[in-house]
Amino acid sequence: MSATNGAAQKLAYNIRPVDPEQLRLLRHEVLWPSIPLSAQLAEYDYAPGALHLGLFLPSSDLRALSIPPSYDSLPVGVVTLVPAPYTQPPQPLPPSLASSLPEFRGEPATQLRKFALHPNLQGRGLGRVMFDACVSALQKMDREEGQEGREGQEGRRLLHLDARTNQVGFYQRLGLSVLDENVFTKVGPNGDGPAIPHLRMGIVI
């Protein structure tokens, strides 16, 4: 067990689905501090099939980590999964992924959005824990819908995201690949934030 995974194991975390309103505070603090709380949500947060996961800690752990009481009933880690074809850019997947989805035409695919972890929790292995929870949730939905691939649970869906360029290394350590080398900018959930460079990344699950 690595040191970071060991740190995660020492925390009594719980990951469960949350409502969009529970995302605002952490998104504001970690992702878009220049955008007011009232503008932290986007239309896709309410899209059919959207799943929001939150990581919660007991108040005793929050105090020990100097996380304020404002998070006592709110998640200290959040991530959103939205059914979304991979259509930008319209080009083949990298060879490392194409072999798992030989007939891929943009679907089946899910987009991971707005992945945030409270600053006092970063570096403790909880980002990987949350990503693994996303993969497990998608695989569970596929099993329930009877959509397993030829090899069982793996190799049938592209999980893709727009990664901030300063987070590419983190996602590569989770097993994701760069889908397109072209850097592009995003300007907040509703086009009203600072320009931040991104790269498209993905993994077949």
Q: How does pLDDT run across 48-78, given as a tens digit for each residue?
A: 999 999 999 999 999 999 999 999 999 999 9
Assess whether pLDDT exceeds 90 at residue 190. no
- Which of 89, 204, 200 shows the shortest CA–CA distance to 154? 204
- Convert the pLDDT of each residue in 107-134 to its tens digit: 889 999 999 999 999 999 999 999 999 9
CB 179 within 8 A of CB 94: yes
**pTM of the predicted protein model:** 0.87
Place 101 in a pLDDT band, splitting at 50, 70 and 90.
confident
What's the pLDDT at 89? 63
- Helix, strand, coil % in the chain, rounded to nearest 5: 35, 25, 40
Report all structural domains of the chain as residue ranges with CATH numbers, in order of start.
Answer: 3-204 (3.40.630.30)
Token pair 């993905």: residue: 202
pLDDT band at 8 (very low <50, low <70, confident <90, very high): low
Q: What is the dihedral of CA 75, 78, 82, 85, to 10 degrees?
A: 180
Residue located via tokens 């793996």: 154
Q: Percent of the chain scored above 70 by pLDDT?
A: 89
